[in-house]
Amino acid sequence: MSQRPVTCTKTDCTAPSCAPDCAPSAPATGLVQLRRGGGTSRRSILQAAAGGVAAAVAAPACNTPEFEAYFQKHYKKLTDEEKVKVFARLEEKTRQKTGVRVRIGDPPPIEGVHFAYALNLSHCNGNRRCAEACARENNLPDEPEMRYIRVLELDNGSQHLERGTVYYDREKVPAPGKFYLPVQCHQCDNAPCVKACPTGATWKENDGIVVVDYDWCIGCRYCQAACPYHARRFNWVEPKIEPSRINPHQAYLSNRIRQMGVVEKCTFCLQRTRRGMYPACYEVCPTGARKFGDLSDPESEVRQIVENKRVWILKEDLGTEPRFFYFYG
Amino acid sequence: MIRYVVYWARMVACVLKGGRLYYTWMGSLLVLILLGAWSYSHDVVDGLIRTNMTDEVSWGIGIANFVFCVGLAASALLLIVPAYVYKRHDAKEVVLFGELLAVVAVVLCLLFIITDIGRPERLWHLFPGIGKLNWPSSMLAWDVVVYTGYLIINLHIPGYLLYKQYLRQKPNPYFYLPFVFISMFWAVTHYTVTGFLLSGLGGRPFWASPILAPRFLVSVGCTAPAVLLIILTVVRRHTHFKVQESVFDYLKKVLRFSAPLNLFLLGCELFSQFYSGARTPAAHYLWVGLNGKHGLNPLIWTALALNLATTLVWITPKFRKSHRVVIAAAALTMLGIWLEKGVGLVIPAFIPTPLGEVVEYWPNLGEILVSVGLAALGAFVFTAIAKVTIAIQTGTLAVHGGEDSPRVPAAPGSVPGGDRAPVSFPPGSDRPPASVRTPESEGVA
């Protein structure tokens, strides 16, 4: 698989690495500033936070983290100092539970960038590596299995969804007379899930990514009922991931370890894409069916596709205005 | 203040005192409540994985029951309109039962939601100020606002009237009449918002029907009179409280209109879903099955049969006269609506998923225990407050003594609601002539 430069990034980041597991070495380069931060660099704050964690562990105040977690404010109301504390607490929690030292960052949306996805249905052969790479990158549990990406196997010449299946044998693809339709969160501009959420725990960021504050979600699942793309997942049980499979490079609004009883979804791997890398599903795809980039950059591949190919969107009649385009090319 | 504390203490004492039948009833309910609580405690510890819900069918019997309970809350509206708009004395005598049932129904609605969500301890996130209520965008936020308001109004009116009656004082109409009229409009909002909660989701074509809210309102007109018929029959049989036959006639009259109308609207829905041949997979799954899966077919056809049969009862004068038939029909009406507008309205919307997967759902024992436990809790609370209400309304619980009430010829020491109540009135027979007049019925109407 060749490494393609990301056209969307406005930052001088390093090129994306090919495998999702080794990719997140880039975040440590410290190219991202805190959202509302003043002159402090993210790295120094994180270093300070690390010191804070050490102090917190040494201190005998056992009940404080639970108390703080319970009364934690909505992400948008957290100050930068509070964020540092929250991230440190969450990192420590993961360390205690799994023994893995993870780093939770908070890359902000890159100004002027509007992410979009395009998927070439002529090329997709339903191998489902995207779903697996996504699971590894985003710390999705295997038991019970949770996947953000569903790939439907449909009869040629029909979009009769009920006649399709997601339970096909991935070793025997492409099956004759079939085509494959991968579906994940469409990051709708007019997102029904965002409208539905009673607590404002899910919202659309400036770069177009719909995110969830897992610490604010009450788990009512109204967003799941509202989503026309079946893109949201609920943690019916405390998610368990083998420590060796945990991706330690995490972001607060995306792939950090989730909790029981909250909803989660695809975030276009914002922990990667906001740092100039491609999403895991894009990188792993062996067919080149997946295209990703900045819609507001006239030179970007995805923009070229949307302008020049005959693209279509799923369930256009619902007026959700997705950032996810399909095309045949 | 002390007087108010004493009032509460006496109410609690009234609830704790009763006959063998009363204790048996409350005891059985308590067992069911504890079983439900036991089952729910496992959900809290292990997660909702214990239920049969999945990412495909992410709302199950809990939300179905919630939708059904919204219908029960209509009982207040059903009695307030004749009592206060048409100033019917017979309705005014029993209007408090309607309002208190509405309170219990709204509390049950909230409990069905709370036991269904993944993080009930985070409910404070909904409170404006400390939390973040996504109003007016989210229909669920509207629901929260409307339910809380409806609960407060329906707590205030009976609470005020009962306390005044306990004090043997005339209630001040300015303190409750405005709320009575607000509650009428509020009630309609209450059902409409719940209808919109479902029909506002474009991604669920099964719900996205403009007549969902009207259908909802009409079926509410079936469940509320049906449950009131049962409750008022029990009250008349086992207590000294007098319920006039005309109230029963009124409730049956409501059913005479709402039951056929409910069927008519169902027919309209079915026509538009099936005649054109357009793809309506959820409706197909519900009524005839999809991809060889038929899980809900028996249920919805039973619902249709029940609704047809009970409608026949309500529109046939001969059947309506028999009290036994009426009670049986009321119970079956409730069951029919629960199947049609509860389970049959909520669950098929998730089958198939928006991506066409047909994953079936049927509640497991744990979910049923939680649901039954909550229903038992509702019955328990309602019995308790109805007992207090009857004691206050009949004058056995009042600020001065009370047991030797001058208003009602109650047998000394007898407690309404208990099986020691010496008189039981067979349906249609003569009852004691003294009708219990509430102060507000004398003072205001």
Using a CB–CB cutoff of 8 Å, tell me whether A15 touches chain B.
no
Count of other CB atoms within 10 angstroms of residue B9: 10
How far is A154 from A174, CA to CA, in rounded Å?
11
pLDDT at residue B402 in the model: 52
Which chain B residues are closer than 8 Å to A201 by Cβ? 125, 132
Which chain A residues are closer than 8 Å to B125 by Cβ? 74, 199, 201, 216, 218
Count of other CB atoms within 10 angstroms of residue B99: 27
Task: Take residue A230 and report the two structure tokens written for it.
Answer: 């079946």
pLDDT at residue B332 in the model: 97
Q: Indicate whether B301 pLDDT > 50.
A: yes
Q: Indicate whether A261 pLDDT > 50.
A: yes
Q: How far is A146 from chain B (nearest CA, A)?
A: 9
Residues 6+ apart with CB under 8 A from A165: A152, A153, B357
pLDDT at residue A289 in the model: 96
B354-401: per-residue pLDDT in tens?
999 999 999 999 999 999 999 999 999 999 999 999 999 988 888 876
Q: Indicate whether A171 pLDDT > 60.
A: yes
How far is A265 from A230, CA to CA, in rounded Å?
10
pLDDT at residue A134 in the model: 97
- The interface predicted TM-score (ipTM) is 0.86
Q: Indicate whether A37 pLDDT > 50.
A: no
How far is A116 from A52, CA to CA, in rounded Å?
38
Using a CB–CB cutoff of 8 Å, tell me whether A313 touches chain B.
no
- Average pLDDT for B400-410: 47
Count of other CB atoms within 10 angstroms of residue B423: 14
What is the pLDDT confidence band of residue A27, given thresholds at 50, 70 and 90? very low
pLDDT at residue B76 in the model: 87
Number of domains observed in the structure of chain B: 1
Percentage above 90 pLDDT, chain B: 74
Considering only alpha carbons, which residue of chain A is nearest residue B53? A236
Q: Indicate whether A52 pLDDT > 90.
A: no
Considering only alpha carbons, which residue of chain A is nearest residue B46? A237
- Average pLDDT for A281-288: 96
pLDDT at residue B404 in the model: 42
Count of other CB atoms within 10 angstroms of residue B8: 11
- Average pLDDT for B291-319: 95
How do strand A210-212 and strand A202-204 relate by DSSP bridges?
antiparallel
* Residue in this structure with the two tokens 């005192």, named with its chain if needed: B17
Closest CA to B80 of B257, B231, B194, B224: B224
Which chain A residues are closer than 8 Å to B203 by Cβ? 192, 225-229, 315, 318, 320
> What is the average pLDDT value for chain A, to the nearest integer?
84
DSSP string for B84-147: IIS--HHHHHHHHHHHHHHHHHHHHHHHHHHTTSS-GGGGGGGSTTTS---TTT-HHHHHHHHH
CB B156 within 8 A of CB B176: yes
Find the angle CA(B12)-CA(B15)-CA(B21) to the nearest 5 degrees.
165
Q: Domains, chain A, ranges and CATH?
A: 30-113+139-269 (3.30.70.20)
By Cβ distance, the residue of A146, A228, A235 closest to B203 is A228
Task: Take residue A298 and report the two structure tokens written for it.
Answer: 């006239």
Residues 6+ apart with CB under 8 A from B24: none
pLDDT at residue B396 in the model: 87
Count of other CB atoms within 10 angstroms of residue B123: 17
B78-126: per-residue pLDDT in tens?
899 999 999 999 999 999 999 999 999 999 999 999 999 999 999 999 9
Cα torsion angle, B114, B118, B124, B129, sign: negative
Q: Indicate whether B413 pLDDT > 70.
A: no
| Helix, strand or coil, per DSSP, at residue B12 | helix
Backbone torsions φ then ψ of A123, nearest 5 degrees: -95, -30
pLDDT at residue B359 in the model: 95
A289-326: per-residue pLDDT in tens?
999 999 999 999 999 999 999 999 999 999 999 999 99
Q: How far apart are the first and last CA of chain B?
A: 30
- Average pLDDT for B150-166: 93
Using a CB–CB cutoff of 8 Å, tell me whether A200 touches chain B.
yes
On the CB side of B44, how many CA atoms lie within 13 Å of its CA? 12
Phi-psi category of B14—alpha, beta or left, where left has phi over 0 and alpha has psi -120 to 50?
alpha
Q: Indicate whether A63 pLDDT > 60.
A: no
Q: Indicate whether B445 pLDDT > 60.
A: no
pLDDT at residue B321 in the model: 86
- Average pLDDT for A46-67: 53
Q: Indicate whether A25 pLDDT > 90.
A: no
How far is B271 from B26, CA to CA, in rounded Å?
46
- Domain membership of residue B402 as a residue range: 2-443
pLDDT at residue A18 in the model: 37
Using a CB–CB cutoff of 8 Å, tell me whether A224 touches chain B.
yes
Percentage above 90 pLDDT, chain A: 76
Q: Indicate whether B415 pLDDT > 90.
A: no
The answer to whether A201 contacts B125, with C-beta atoms less than 8 Å apart, is yes
B186-228: per-residue pLDDT in tens?
988 888 899 999 999 999 999 988 898 889 889 889 999 999 9
pLDDT at residue A6 in the model: 41
Closest CA to B438 of B403, B389, B400: B389
Closest CA to A257 of A271, A273, A277: A271
Q: Indicate whether B54 pLDDT > 90.
A: yes
The CATH number of the domain holding residue B343 is: 1.20.1630.10
Residues in chain A: 329
Task: Take residue B97 and report the two structure tokens written for it.
Answer: 């039962």
Using a CB–CB cutoff of 8 Å, tell me whether A163 touches chain B.
yes
Question: Over the range B325-354, which residues count as b (16 or more CB within 10 Å of their CB) and which as e?
Answer: ebbebbbbbbbbbbbbbbbbbbbbbbbbbb
